[in-house]
Amino acid sequence: MKIIQIAKQLIKLTKSKSNIIYQSLLMDDSVQRNPDIILAKNKLLWRPKNPRDIGLLKTIDFLKLY
């Protein structure tokens, strides 16, 4: 899943009226971000306990406290 997809999902889950703004990359910025947990799964034998939607909702609820 790409960052843009996560951003759109967060806007939907939070019922935000925010817009995504595309800007030029900084000179030393990565051209592509594509979060991947395969390394954690393979090397650490780690697996997520919740589906992504549930994890994002739990994070949103936690952040509302602060």
Residues 6 or more apart from 48 whose CB is under 8 A from it? 37, 55
- Calculate the CA 3 to chain-centre distance: 6
Q: Which pLDDT does position 65 carry in this prediction?
A: 94
The distance from CA 36 to its chain's CA centroid, rounded to whole angstroms, is 11
Tens of each residue's pLDDT in the chain, 66 residues: 778 899 999 999 999 999 999 988 788 777 766 678 898 899 999 999 999 999 999 999 999 998
Give CA–CA dist 10/53, Å, rounded: 9
Amino acid at 12: K
